[in-house]
Amino acid sequence: MKPTDKTVVSPAAGTIVKIFNTNHAFCLETEKGAEIVVHMGIDTVALNGQGFKRLVEEGAEVTAGQPVLELDLDFLNANARSMISPVVCSNIDDFSGLVIKADGHVVAGQTPLYEIKSK
């Protein structure tokens, strides 16, 4: 995905288990045990946190669509290598797979990206 809005929301309900100290990425564990990593941009760790603001803390219980990070898109678009942002399931081998739901333009908090299938 490539953000066009300053607010990054949780892709699913669960617990924020990690927010990197540079605030460029976070990890979420869902109730079913899926570990979702949201990484804003490519090589954005090199910006040392500039352009990112944390809105929740590690350990927070979040709902799907709840704001987690705020972006300074002007700064990030000018300084990041790319703002293409992967949203991946890091433990997909614990599940039977996933079904892609999104195609083209998505709306944060409204458009499902994918569905993770239980074994």
CATH number of the domain at 84, please. Answer: 2.70.70.10
Do the domain assignments include residue 54?
yes
Secondary structure of the chain: what % helix, strand, coil (to 5)? 10, 35, 55
Q: Which of 22, 39, 109, 114 is catalytic?
A: 39
pLDDT at residue 77, rounded to an integer: 96
Phi, psi values for residue 74, rounded to 5° = -60, -50
**Residue 118's pLDDT band (boundaries 50, 70, 90)?**
confident
Instruction: Specify the DSSP class assigned to residue 114.
Output: E
Number of domains forming the structure of the chain = 1
Regarding predicted confidence, which is higher, 117 or 119? Answer: 117
Range 15-44 average pLDDT: 97
At residue 32, the pLDDT reads 92
Domain that holds residue 97: 7-117
Question: Residue 12 falls within a domain, yes or no?
Answer: yes
Residue 1 lies in a domain: no
56, with CB counted inside 10 A (0-12, 13-18, 19+), is middle
Note if 105 is an active site residue.
no
